[in-house]
Chain A
């Protein structure tokens, strides 16, 4: 039986979330309510899917900053294709197209990283601007508010609806089910398949992974295609639920997403990371982005808060590791 480790990131982040909620409830008793919770869940859908994708890459020892550009590209291009070619197709087709486009773009990252062995940060910084530049140069720069009917149908699918005491409505779209399903799928891949164990193994030590017979190239190809596919899906969900396809959306979010994942305990050096931690990290980032004002911190301090949380969340384990190393030496 492993002893319970209080300094694990998951525990720390959970503690911060609880503290945040207690403070918020003290200053505004209305904070602890179903509408607030549903609001946070709705705001966490796209961020959550992207974070799951980013986590898989971090676990494998890489880093991907291009996934927001992939999401924007897949989302906008799919909308344009549907609008111009077949505006009446149902939403699952739109989702499939976006996922396929995302996977194709992810494969480009995969080839550069897995086949040519280029550093992941540099490759994805490059493809970030290539995908975005291509989208804005050749596909379009005008936002589309008149979405194809399939995407509009999807935006009306609600899991939960309710009315606040002041008469306004709150609702949780079915898109949330996608987040849940993708978390389960990713959990299954990471923890119940050889592929998932290979991803952890590569992140832990690529050379050892190779020597025990893991095909590093194939595994890396899978990772970047999977991340691209998830990003494409996140993109189309974003456009469908926001009821607008804006090619300038999403890009710029990548560092917040990576911040959420890192807060949840995934290590940049690879091999370490859990879905629980990632989702807690997402919850914390969403709380800070939406409700900082409730605990009396002006929203202009949002960046400082997220930055400080990242340093705290990565600093503590790093410092502990360093101390342990010094003690061992």
Chain B
């Protein structure tokens, strides 16, 4: 038991269970209802995928503040293609093509960040703050600031469909999380990422091509953002430059809550997944209890600070 409590992920698993049990106890017939459980499974993947992207950037000691901008830009490009070129009666093939386009936009956005950080040497916060404004700005300029509508009905499947009663967004998130978990803990790329995060100078002296690792990593963040953007678009049945603007804070919060060290070098995907689950349980439960969005924002912020405090104090005691 004490071993579980000593690891960040162990404490987090406990918090997740406590939140779930607490919410289930406070409003059992509603929180545990099939409708609530399904709606939760549809809700969280979009910001959870953004959190994965932020977490990956944080592993290197950087951060990606452009995830929401990249997500919206990808979604806007895909939506403009589907609405203007394909039309409302487009089939699944065209939607798949739009998805590939979104991924490409995300890839380019991520490469842009990677070049700014790795080649030009900008601090990641500023590079992605600036590029995030540029991505959002392009999405505004392309759409004139209004929502892009008139998507083919086939596009709704990614956000609203099910595979064997499991919501598609959840499947997408699970696959991405599993793949990232494997990439970060079982491959040399993951090891290099964490090495760079722990000590960039040492990584360079160990003959690591740090620039290439960083560029690949930010490209990965961009593509993850694109997937999240596509899911948001599919669920909203439209794309807009300012969708999900509150998701940035939430994504950073989840990554930190998940035990990813904002200074780099430590973090596990399982922690991020647990943090996502506890946030969603808390958020849905509070919603059912009639707590307003504003109070929820306050609780999230307080939770972020509390977790940081506990982690810091726990570290101080052990050292």
Q: Which residues of A are interface residues toward B (Cβ below 8 A)?
A: 63, 112, 116-119, 121-123, 125-130, 132-137, 141, 255, 258-259, 262, 268-269, 298, 300-311, 314-315, 318-319, 321-322
CB distance from A276 to the nearest CB of B (A): 20
Interface membership of chain B positions 238-251, coded 1 if the CB is closer than 8 angstroms to chain A and 0 otherwise: 00000000000100
**What chain B residues lie within 8 Å of A304 (beta carbons)?**
133-134, 137-138, 141
- Is B134 within 8 A of A311, CB to CB? yes
Contact assessment for B308 and A123 in the assembled complex, using a CB-CB cutoff below 8 Å = yes
Chain A contacts for B22, CB-based, 8 A: none
New A-B contacts (17) at CB < 8 Å, excluding given A126-B253, A130-B301, A310-B126: A112-B305, A121-B63, A125-B252, A126-B308, A128-B301, A129-B249, A129-B297, A133-B300, A135-B294, A303-B133, A303-B137, A304-B137, A307-B137, A311-B130, A311-B134, A315-B122, A322-B121
How distant is A289 from chain B, measured CB to nearest CB, in Å?
12
Q: 9 closest pairs, A vs B, by CB? A: A133-B298, A303-B137, A307-B133, A304-B137, A129-B301, A310-B130, A307-B134, A136-B294, A130-B301
A308 to B295, CA, bound (A): 36
Q: Contacts of A307 on B, CB cut-off 8 Å?
A: 130-137
What mask results when residues 49 to 75 of chain B are scored 1 for a CB within 8 Å of chain A, else 0?
Answer: 000000000000001000000000000
- B274-305 CB contacts (< 8 Å) to partner A: 292, 294-302, 304-305
A305 to B313, CA, bound (A): 43
- Across the interface, do A300 and B297 meet the contact criterion of CB distance under 8 Å? no
Given contacts A268-B125, A315-B120, contact A137 B295 (CB under 8 A): yes
Structural contact, A300 and B126, CB atoms closer than 8 A? no
Residues of A near B132 (CB, < 8 A) are: 307
Does any Cβ of A come within 8 Å of B116's Cβ?
A: yes
A119 touches B263 (CB 8 A): yes
Give the residue name and chain of the A residue nearest to B301 (CB).
A129
A162 to B294 alpha-carbon distance, docked (Å): 43
9 A-B pairs within 8 Å (CB atoms) are namely: A123-B308, A125-B301, A126-B305, A129-B300, A133-B299, A300-B144, A307-B136, A310-B133, A319-B121
B305 touching A133, Cβ below 8 Å: no
CB distance from B68 to the nearest CB of A (A): 12
A133 CA / B300 CA spacing, docked (Å)? 9
Across the interface, name the chain B residue whose C-beta is closest to A268.
B123
How far apart are the CA atoms of A137 and B305 in the complex, in Å? Answer: 19
B: number of interface residues (CB 8 Å): 45
Chain A minimum-CB-distance residue to B136? A303
Return B216 CB to nearest CB of chain A, in Å: 20
Are the C-beta atoms of A126 and B302 separated by less than 8 Å?
Answer: yes
Q: For A116, list chain B residues within 8 Å (CB).
A: 309, 312-313
Listed in ascending order, the chain B residues whose CB lies under 8 Å from chain A are 63, 116, 120-123, 125-127, 129-138, 140-141, 144-145, 249, 252-253, 256, 262-263, 292, 294-302, 304-305, 308-309, 312-313
Contacts of B304 in A (CB 8 A): 122, 125-126, 129
Complex Cα distance, B300 from A121, in Å, reads 15
Q: Which residues of B contact A302 (CB under 8 A)?
A: 137
Which residues of A sit under 8 angstroms from B129, Cβ to Cβ?
A: 255, 258-259, 310
User: Given A300-B141, A303-B133, are A319 and B120 also a contact pair (CB < 8 Å)?
Assistant: yes
Min Cβ gap A305→B in Å is 7
- Min CB distance A125 to B, Å, is 6
Q: Are B134 and A137 in contact (CB under 8 A)?
A: no
Q: In the assembled complex, which residues on chain B have CB atoms less than 8 Å from the CB atom of A141?
A: 294
Contact between A300 and B140, CB atoms less than 8 A apart: yes
**Alpha-carbon separation in the docked complex, A304 to B145 (Å):** 13
B308 touching A122, Cβ below 8 Å: yes
List residues of chain B with CB within 8 A of the CB of A310.
126, 129-130, 133
Q: How many angstroms from the CA of A321 to the CA of B122 in the assembled complex?
A: 10
**Contact of A119 with B301 in the complex, beta carbons under 8 Å:** no
State whether A118 touches B309 (Cβ < 8 A): yes
Taking the closest CB of chain A, its distance from the CB of B298, in whole angstroms, is: 3
Least Cβ distance of B117 to chain A in Å?
A: 10
Known: A127-B301, A137-B295, A315-B122. A122 touches B141 (CB 8 A): no
